[in-house]
């Protein structure tokens, strides 16, 4: 192993320009894979973050709504029924909509607007400020992402533009709290009390005088979270015309979520495959150029094991350098990306991507290693 | 009477060409003692390269025996033959001799490393041998930075540094001009004699035979004549010149 390492490192060092260029190609592939992984994570996060962070174990949907939050419609009686069931610690309504915050100078910020009750599952923990005083208050809690994009602070007043029937109406809300990491359906989120939500949400002319808010789903917090499956069955059997899902099912049924994640993952896999081909091609060409040299090594008494180990070590070192450089480039680039681009460098996703990248070297170079081991010194030295 | 470092007994190598057996080496026997430098000559296709490949433990004979230091090559596994090549044989080739990314010193030292020997003493020996071959100022040069003759001399140093029993040279002067070729073979011969190694040089250039102790002439796979002594060798060289 020592001699194989010696040979591998000497060759890399003496041909550092050539090997560095391959390492740079690997670095670019790494950059691409890490960005795709971060983009996938960012898009996924933007889509699911609010649901994933809910302080609840189950979500109640309208029956046959296919667990899609936006298509589910429940009435207040369903919410009350849930709260009466033994084993339910708390339940909170969630009403979803989207709206536009006017930022001045003609600028707007499109946000997801969620109607939730203060102190119930649905309103996430606040990092600053306070919850709504009443369910009718013209108050709003904003996500930090809204604050970052708009410079709105707790204590400010914001103006919301909402289409009511065929006309635009404007509502002023007081920002009372700040929460963190609560993106939903690709947009930063604001939270308002249910009655306020019903008043300010965009609606048709037929709905214009409606005062009792619609509920899309009910977030259910259980006394014993480990009993989620059992409680799901009880809820489904007790309350008519509903279906119950755990958080994971709810996330996977967010429109487009699975397809989007599948697309991003496919891109990542194809990029890795390209990496395998690039690295494989390079090392294969290199081995072909080194046939006489490997013949000499074998003729003077180097074992197949040593020749193979030298090739593997070389591939691993070059791959590791490439991945290291790629990681560094990714970090540097990420510093210059604005918060509007949904890049999330999740530790697990990045680690998996890096492990996959480290494996593509040996995988791509495997054919060349096998070729090197099979070189016959007689033929290589043209003695046969 | 010196001990035979190499003993070749009735060696045959048969290849099948278009379903017909061809004897590339046909019943060849000879011995080479330690300190003896022997040339293997013959026209193209005479079997000398096949013979050299068998002696280098790169090719198994179809029948017969090859003993290096008393060890029978035909009874060895591939792993044992690799070890024998590493420990008992030194080899220089016609071209592509050196590892291109190792310096002259590293190329020679590599043979020692291969045998698990490296350290200050070994480095001194390497430097001394390279200096002896006129390469003291080329220790840190890569093969591409040296002439063909210098590269051959590094290869000779590599073939001798680990004190092998048998040193084989396959047309070492093929890519050199006459003056360099004589220098290289003379140095080779001197080192073989001084270090008491058994040396075999395969060459088509009969002028190089002036430095050897014996010439084995092959034709059609057979050993047709052995030239011993200065007179016979000069006779052969004279015949070759005409």
Q: Do A377 and B113 touch (CB under 8 A)?
A: no
**Rounded-to-integer distance, Cα B236 and Cα B216, Å:** 11
The predicted pLDDT at position A172 comes to: 94
Domain coordinates of chain B in residue numbers?
4-93+164-241
Q: How do the pLDDT tens digits run along chain A, 384 residues long?
A: 589 999 999 999 999 999 999 999 999 988 988 888 888 888 888 788 888 889 999 999 999 999 998 889 998 899 999 999 999 999 999 999 999 999 988 889 999 999 999 999 999 999 999 999 988 889 999 999 899 888 899 999 999 999 888 888 899 999 999 998 777 877 889 999 999 999 899 888 877 777 777 899 999 999 999 999 999 999 999 999 999 999 999 988 888 888 888 888 888 888 888 888 888 888 888 888 888 888 889 988 899 999 999 999 999 999 999 999 999 999 898 888 877 777 878 778 778 888 888 888 888 888 888 888 888 887 777 665
B154-202 pLDDT, tens digit per residue, is 999 999 999 999 999 988 887 778 888 888 889 889 989 998 999 999 9
Say whether residue B3 is in contact with chain A using an 8 A CB cutoff.
no
B75-99 pLDDT, tens digit per residue, is 899 899 999 999 999 998 887 679 9
Taking only residues 183 to 242 of chain B, the set having a beta carbon closer than 8 angstroms to any beta carbon of chain A reads none
Query: What's phi and psi for A118, nearest 5 deg?
Result: -65, 135
Nearest to B113 among A6, A377, A381 (CB): A6
> How are beta strands B222-228 and B63-68 bridged, if at all?
unpaired
The answer to whether residue B2 scores a pLDDT higher than 80 is no
Q: Which of the two residues, B61 and A341, has the higher pLDDT score?
A: B61
The predicted pLDDT at position A321 comes to: 94
Determine the residue of chain A that is closest to B56 in CA distance. Answer: A299
**Rounded-to-integer distance, Cα B15 and Cα B72, Å:** 22
Nearest to A301 among B99, B101, B114 (CB): B114
Taking only residues 300 to 329 of chain A, the set having a beta carbon closer than 8 angstroms to any beta carbon of chain B reads 300-303
**Which residues does chain B have within 8 Å of residue A296's beta carbon, measured at their own beta carbons?**
93, 96-99
Query: What's phi and psi for A124, nearest 5 deg?
Result: -70, 165
Say whether residue A10 is in contact with chain B using an 8 A CB cutoff.
yes
**Which residues does chain B have within 8 Å of residue A295's beta carbon, measured at their own beta carbons?**
96
* Neighbour tally for A164: CB within 10 Å: 17
3-state secondary structure chain B: CCCEEEEEEEEEEEEEECCEEEEEEEEEEEEEECCCEEEEECCCCCCHHHHHHHHCCCCCCCEEEEEECCEEHHHCCHHHHHHHHHHHEEEECCCCCCCCCCCHHHHHHHHHHHCCCCCHHHHHHHHHHHHHCCCHHHCCCCHHHCCHHHHHHHHHHHHHCCCCCEEEEECCCCCCCHHHHHHHHHHHHHHHHHHCCEEEEECCCHHHHHHCCEEEEEECCEEEEEEEHHHHHHHHHHHHHC
> ipTM, 2 decimals?
0.87
Say whether residue B83 is in contact with chain A using an 8 A CB cutoff.
yes
Smallest CA-to-CA distance from B152 within B187, B123, B198 is with B187
Q: Do A7 and B99 touch (CB under 8 A)?
A: yes
Q: Do A293 and B85 touch (CB under 8 A)?
A: no
CA distance A294 to chain B (A): 9
Determine the residue of chain A that is closest to B95 in CA distance. Answer: A381
Query: What's phi and psi for A168, nearest 5 deg?
Result: -85, 135
- CATH code of B4-93+164-241, in short, is 3.40.50.300
Say whether residue B87 is in contact with chain A using an 8 A CB cutoff.
yes
CA atoms within 13 A on the CB side of A383: 31
Asked if residue B4 lies in contact with residue B31, where contact means CB atoms within 8 angstroms, the answer is yes
Q: Is A301 helix (H, G, I), strand (E, B) or coil?
A: coil
Report CA torsion sign: B54, B59, B64, B65: positive
Asked if residue A132 lies in contact with residue A193, where contact means CB atoms within 8 angstroms, the answer is yes
**Which residue intervals of A193-335 are DSSP H helices?**
194-200, 228-238, 247-252, 257-289, 291-299, 304-335
**Rounded-to-integer distance, Cα B160 and Cα A13, Å:** 27
Q: How high is the mean pLDDT of chain B?
A: 89
> How are beta strands B71-72 and B89-92 bridged, if at all?
unpaired
DSSP state of A376: -
Say whether residue A292 is in contact with chain B using an 8 A CB cutoff.
yes
**Which residues does chain B have within 8 Å of residue A303's beta carbon, measured at their own beta carbons?**
79, 82
Smallest CA-to-CA distance from B74 within B164, B5, B11 is with B11
The predicted pLDDT at position A368 comes to: 86
C-alpha distances out from residue A185 to A50, A125, A215, A226, B178, Å? 9, 19, 17, 28, 83
The predicted pLDDT at position A1 comes to: 57
**Rounded-to-integer distance, Cα A283 and Cα A316, Å:** 11
Determine the residue of chain A that is closest to B143 in CA distance. Answer: A14
**Which residues does chain A have within 8 Å of residue B84's beta carbon, measured at their own beta carbons?**
301
**Which residues does chain A have within 8 Å of residue B114's beta carbon, measured at their own beta carbons?**
3, 300-302
Report CA torsion sign: A283, A288, A293, A297: positive
Say whether residue B86 is in contact with chain A using an 8 A CB cutoff.
yes
Structure-block tokens of residue B64: 């017969």
Q: Do B53 and A378 touch (CB under 8 A)?
A: yes
* Look-up of token digits 């000499």: A296
B101-141 pLDDT, tens digit per residue, is 999 999 999 999 999 888 888 899 999 999 988 899 999 99
Cβ within 8 Å of residue A58, ≥6 positions away? A219, A220, A222, A228, A231, A232, A235, A244, A245, A246, A247
**Rounded-to-integer distance, Cα A54 and Cα A182, Å:** 9
Domain coordinates of chain A in residue numbers?
2-48+258-380, 64-240
CA distance A307 to chain B (A): 12
The predicted pLDDT at position B176 comes to: 77
Residue B1's pLDDT band, with cuts at 50, 70 and 90, is: very low
The angle that helices A347-374 and A304-335 make with each other, rounded to 10 degrees, is 150
**Which residues does chain A have within 8 Å of residue B111's beta carbon, measured at their own beta carbons?**
300
The predicted pLDDT at position A384 comes to: 57
Q: Do B49 and A378 touch (CB under 8 A)?
A: no
**Rounded-to-integer distance, Cα A91 and Cα A57, Å:** 10
CA distance B21 to chain A (A): 16
The DSSP line for A198-220 is HHHS-B-GGGTT--SPPBSEEEE
CA distance A277 to chain B (A): 26
Q: Do B52 and A3 touch (CB under 8 A)?
A: no
Q: What is the mean pLDDT of residues B61-83?
A: 91
**Which residues does chain B have within 8 Å of residue A377's beta carbon, measured at their own beta carbons?**
58
Say whether residue B98 is in contact with chain A using an 8 A CB cutoff.
yes
């Amino acid at each position: 192993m020592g001699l194989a390492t010696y040979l591998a490192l000497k060759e890399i060092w003496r041909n550092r320009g050539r090997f560095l260029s391959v390492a740079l190609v690997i670095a670019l592939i790494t950059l691409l894979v890490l960005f795709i992984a971060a983009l996938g994570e960012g898009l996924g996060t933007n889509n699911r973050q609010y649901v994933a962070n809910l302080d609840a174990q189950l979500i109640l949907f309208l029956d046959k709504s296919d667990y899609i939050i936006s298509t589910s419609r429940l009435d207040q009686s369903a919410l009350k029924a849930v709260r009466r069931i033994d084993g339910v610690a708390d339940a909170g309504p969630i009403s979803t909509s989207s709206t536009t915050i006017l930022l001045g100078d003609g600028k707007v910020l499109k946000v997801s607007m969620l109607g939730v009750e203060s102190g119930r599952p649905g309103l996430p923990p606040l990092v600053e400020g306070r919850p709504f005083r009443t369910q009718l208050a013209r108050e709003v809690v904003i996500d930090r992402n809204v604050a970052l994009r708009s410079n709105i602070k707790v204590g400010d007043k914001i103006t919301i533009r909402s289409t009511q029937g065929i006309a635009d109406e404007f509502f002023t809300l007081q920002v009372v709290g700040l929460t963190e990491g609560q993106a939903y359906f690709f947009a930063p989120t604001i939270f308002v009390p249910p009655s306020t939500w019903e008043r300010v949400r965009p609606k048709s002319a037929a709905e214009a005088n409606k005062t009792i808010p619609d509920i899309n789903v009910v977030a259910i917090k259980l006394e014993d979270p480990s009993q989620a499956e059992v409680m799901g069955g009880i809820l489904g059997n007790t309350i008519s015309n509903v279906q119950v899902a755990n958080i994971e099912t709810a996330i996977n049924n967010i429109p487009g979520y699975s397809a989007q994640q599948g697309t991003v993952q496919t891109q990542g896999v194809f990029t890795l495959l390209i990496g395998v081909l690039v690295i494989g091609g390079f090392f294969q060409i290199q081995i072909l150029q080194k046939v006489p040299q490997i013949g000499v090594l074998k003729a003077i008494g180097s074992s197949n094991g040593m020749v193979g180990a030298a090739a593997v070590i070389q591939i691993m070192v070059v791959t590791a350098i490439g991945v290291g450089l790629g990681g560094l480039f990714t970090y540097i680039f990420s510093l210059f990306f604005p918060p509007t681009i949904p890049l999330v460098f999740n530790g697990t996703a990045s680690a998996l991507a890096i492990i996959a990248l480290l494996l593509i070297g040996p995988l791509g170079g495997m054919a060349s290693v096998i070729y090197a081991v099979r070189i016959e010194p007689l033929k290589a030295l043209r003695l046969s | 009477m010196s001990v035979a470092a190499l003993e070749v007994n009735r060696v045959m190598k048969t290849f099948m060409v278009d379903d017909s057996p061809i004897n590339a080496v046909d019943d060849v026997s000879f011995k080479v003692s330690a300190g003896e430098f022997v040339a293997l000559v013959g026209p193209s296709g005479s079997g000398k390269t096949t013979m050299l490949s068998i002696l280098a433990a790169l090719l198994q004979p179809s029948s017969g025996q090859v003993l290096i230091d008393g060890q029978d090559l035909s009874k060895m596994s591939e792993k044992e033959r690799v070890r024998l090549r590493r420990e008992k044989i030194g080899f220089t080739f016609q071209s592509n001799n050196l590892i291109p990314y190792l310096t002259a010193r590293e190329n020679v030292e590599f043979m020692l490393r291969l045998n698990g020997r490296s350290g200050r003493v070994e480095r001194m020996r390497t430097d001394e041998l390279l200096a002896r071959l006129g390469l003291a100022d080329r220790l840190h040069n890569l093969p591409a930075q040296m002439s063909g003759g210098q590269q051959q001399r590094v290869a000779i140093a590599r073939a001798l540094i680990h004190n092998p029993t048998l040193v084989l040279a396959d047309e070492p002067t093929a890519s050199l001009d006459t003056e360099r070729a004589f220098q290289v073979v003379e140095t080779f011969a001197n080192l073989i004699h001084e270090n008491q190694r058994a040396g075999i040089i395969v060459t088509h250039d009969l002028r190089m035979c002036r430095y050897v102790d014996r010439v084995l002439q092959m034709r059609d796979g057979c050993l047709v004549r052995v030239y011993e002594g200065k007179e016979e060798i000069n006779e052969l060289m004279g015949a070759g010149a005409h």
